[in-house]
């Protein structure tokens, strides 16, 4: 079975070295508010929810399949006692927009603090890195297991049609995908013409598009707010999120990045306006931006999605298990015919991820696509390793204080549906793993 530990290809490592050494905010890869909390043995993960009452009644806090693999989506409480700017943005802007409520109604949003009691050391692996862009092969394996669990002639027809849909996406996008192996001689406009055609039929590419744009904006932003957040050990999230919502307003409905398909020219126009209004970058050059996006986007697709394998003329479902696994994971929930199998796929995937974390002694998981502050906790750790509290934020100072300790534990099952930092209390089912 494929390991879910992040792998660093030599070319990928060159990019990470460049980000770390040559961008204004790259140092946050190695030194951020989560790492500071680990060093001080004062780790509190903050989770925002609109379902506190039902969580209290059930005594369970459910992970979500859309959060760092399958965990409780959270951010670290800063050592200054204030919320991470990512959580603050979610409370102030995202949840109100999603639920169409006014800022005054955000009082219905509650904060839960998961206080981690484990002692972290430099030698243990209690803090693990996680990058979902490497999960393609594992997701392919999980799909094959799911298929075996429903081995009937009727089900095989449904699975066959589903796999044909996956192959169709790869066939259509194949010319573009293969040029990603080497784009040195490809003009920027030709590359993005191919990309915009490919993302229309392979929406998975919207995720990579978003992550590449995130790297550019968040690592290079140097306005006053970005500097302030960097000094707190955080990447500022506001400019990036405002940008993507401007480009794709429909993201406010579940933040489904398959919908993120703006033209590169639309992105440039939006960045020019934002830079003029907010002084985001010291210098913004359209050609340099396009070149960065072409090089980084192609490299991410080639290494992480395609696993550095050229797509041949004669394509089958298992021609490139990494790419097929990524598409399967995004497509299986969209196809009505696949809904009867979605629970089994999601739960098998979650159980594998949790088991892997447990075998490696992982307690806290850090999203390392970018150090945005997105963290989670292994649902299989014993309840004695953490305490869960209701948190209260002072309106004026922004400082968070601990309230009631809750008689709540983290469930070993998934919440029914994805929610943005808002665990419902509508589980699929409790699992005894």
Q: Is 21 inside any structural domain? A: no
Which range of residues forms the domain containing residue 255?
A: 134-338
Is pLDDT above 50 for 322? yes
pLDDT band with cut points at 50, 70 and 90 for residue 147: very high
Question: Residue 121 has what pLDDT?
Answer: 64
Label residue 339 by pLDDT band (50, 70, 90): very high
For residue 343, being part of any structural domain is answered with no
> Are the C-beta atoms of residues 231 and 36 closer than 8 Å to each other?
no
Give the pLDDT of residue 106.
Answer: 56
pLDDT for 164 beyond 60? yes
Indicate whether 376 belongs to any domain. yes
Contact 98, 252 (CB under 8 A): yes
Q: Do 139 and 115 reside in the same domain of the chain?
A: no
On whether the CB atoms of residues 32 and 233 are closer than 8 A, the answer is: yes
What is the per-residue pLDDT across 267-300, written as a single tens digit (0 to 9) for each? Answer: 999 999 999 999 999 999 999 999 999 999 999 9
Comparing 32-46, 89-103, 401-415, the range with the smallest average pLDDT is 89-103
DSSP letter (8 states) at residue 118: P
Among 101-105, 253-257, 313-317, name the most confident range: 313-317
Read off the pLDDT of residues 190-224 as tens digits, 9 standing for 90 and up.
999 999 999 999 999 999 999 999 999 999 999 99
In a domain, 18, yes or no: no
- Final residue belonging to a domain, choices 338, 373, 388: 338
Instruction: Tell me the mean pLDDT in the region 146-172.
Output: 95
Predicted pLDDT of residue 96: 81
Length of the chain: 433
Structure tokens at 66: 């859309």
**Prediction pTM value:** 0.92
Asked whether residue 238 falls in the same domain as residue 256, the answer is yes
Instruction: Answer for the pair 171, 324: CB distance below 8 angstroms, yes or no.
Output: no
Q: Is residue 199 part of a domain?
A: yes
Q: Do residue 99 and residue 220 come from a single domain? A: no
Across the range 414-432, mean pLDDT stands at: 46
pLDDT for residue 42 = 81
* DSSP result, 311-333: --SS--TTSSHHHHHHHHHHHTT
The answer on pLDDT for 149 being more than 90 is: yes
pLDDT digits (tens, 9 = 90+) for 98-124: 776 565 555 578 999 999 987 776 556
Give the mean model confidence (pLDDT) for residues 23-30.
95
Q: How much of the chain, in percent, has pLDDT values that exceed 90?
A: 79
Same domain assignment for residues 189 and 308? yes
Statement to judge: residues 141 and 290 lie in one domain: yes
Whether residues 302 and 221 share a domain: the answer is yes
Does 224 reside within a domain? yes
> Does 403 lie in the same domain as 331?
no
Examine the pLDDT at 426 and tell me if it is beyond 70.
no
pLDDT of residue 151: 82
Lowest mean pLDDT among 160-169, 263-272, 378-387: 378-387
* 280 and 236 in a common domain: yes
What's the average model confidence in pLDDT over 169-188?
97
Give the DSSP per-residue string, 128-196.
EEE-GGG-HHHHHHHHHHHHHHT-SHHHHHHHHHHHHHHHHHHHHHHHHHHHTT--TTS-HHHHHHHHH
Whether residues 399 and 305 fall in one domain: no
With residues binned 3-state (H G I as helix, E B as strand, rest as coil), the percentages for the chain, rounded to 5, are: 50, 10, 35
pLDDT of 7: 60
Identify whether 26 is part of a domain. Answer: no
Mean pLDDT of 19-37: 94
Domain count, the chain: 2
Give the model's pLDDT for residue 98: 72
Claim to verify: residue 196 and residue 180 sit in the same structural domain: yes
In sequence order, the β-bridge partners of residue 415 are: 427
Q: Residues 214, 324: one domain?
A: yes
**Does a structural domain hold residue 217?**
yes
Query: Which pLDDT tens digit goes with each residue over 351-380?
Result: 999 999 999 889 999 998 899 999 999 999
Does pLDDT of 422 surpass 80? no
Q: What is the pLDDT of residue 421?
A: 41
At 1 the pLDDT is 40
Whether residue 283 sits in one domain with residue 394 = no
Mean pLDDT, residues 31-52 taken together:
91
- Compute the mean pLDDT over every residue in the chain, rounded to the nearest whole number: 90
Query: Is residue 420 pLDDT above 60, yes or no?
Result: no
């Amino acid at each position: 079975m494929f390991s879910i530990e992040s792998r660093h290809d030599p070319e990928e490592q060159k990019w990470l070295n460049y980000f770390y050494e040559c961008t204004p905010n790259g140092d946050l890869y190695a030194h951020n508010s989560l790492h500071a909390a680990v060093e001080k043995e004062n780790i509190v993960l903050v989770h925002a929810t609109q379902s506190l009452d039902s969580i209290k009644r059930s005594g369970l806090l459910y992970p979500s399949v859309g959060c760092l693999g399958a965990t409780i989506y959270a951010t670290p409480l800063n050592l200054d006692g204030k919320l991470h700017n990512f959580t603050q943005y979610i409370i102030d802007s995202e949840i109100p927009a999603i639920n169409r409520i006014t800022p005054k109604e955000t009082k219905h949003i509650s904060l839960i603090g998961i206080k981690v009691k484990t002692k972290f050391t430099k030698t243990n692996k209690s803090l693990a890195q996680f990058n979902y862009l490497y999960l393609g092969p594992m997701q392919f394996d999980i799909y094959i297991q799911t298929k075996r669990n429903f081995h009937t002639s009727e089900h095989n027809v449904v699975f066959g049609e589903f796999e044909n849909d996956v192959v169709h996406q790869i066939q259509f996008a194949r010319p573009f995908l293969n040029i990603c192996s080497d784009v040195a001689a490809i003009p920027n406009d030709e590359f993005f013409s191919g990309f915009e055609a490919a993302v229309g039929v392979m929406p998975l590419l919207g995720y990579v598009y978003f992550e590449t744009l995130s790297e550019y904006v968040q690592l290079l932003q140097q306005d006053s707010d970005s500097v302030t957040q960097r000094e707190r050990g955080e990447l500022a999230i506001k400019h990036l999120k405002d940008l993507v919502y401007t480009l794709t307003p429909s993201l406010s409905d579940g933040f489904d990045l398959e919908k993120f398909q703006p033209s590169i020219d639309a992105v440039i126009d939006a960045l020019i306006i934002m830079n003029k209004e907010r002084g985001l970058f010291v210098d913004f050059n359209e050609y340099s931006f396009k070149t960065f996006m072409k090089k980084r986007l192609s490299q991410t697709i080639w290494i992480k999605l395609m696993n550095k394998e050229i797509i041949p003329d004669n394509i089958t479902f298992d021609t490139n298990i990494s790419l097929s696994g990524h598409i399967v994971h995004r497509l299986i929930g969209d196809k009505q015919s696949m809904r009867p199998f979605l629970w089994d796929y999601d739960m098998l995937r979650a159980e594998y991820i949790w088991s892997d974390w447990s075998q490696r002694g992982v307690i806290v998981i850090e999203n390392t696509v970018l150090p945005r502050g997105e963290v989670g906790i292994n649902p299989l750790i014993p309840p004695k390793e953490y305490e869960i509290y209701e948190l209260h934020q002072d309106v004026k100072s922004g400082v968070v204080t601990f309230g009631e300790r809750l008689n709540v534990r983290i469930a070993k099952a998934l919440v029914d549906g994805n929610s943005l930092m808002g665990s419902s209390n509508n589980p699929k089912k409790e699992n005894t793993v």
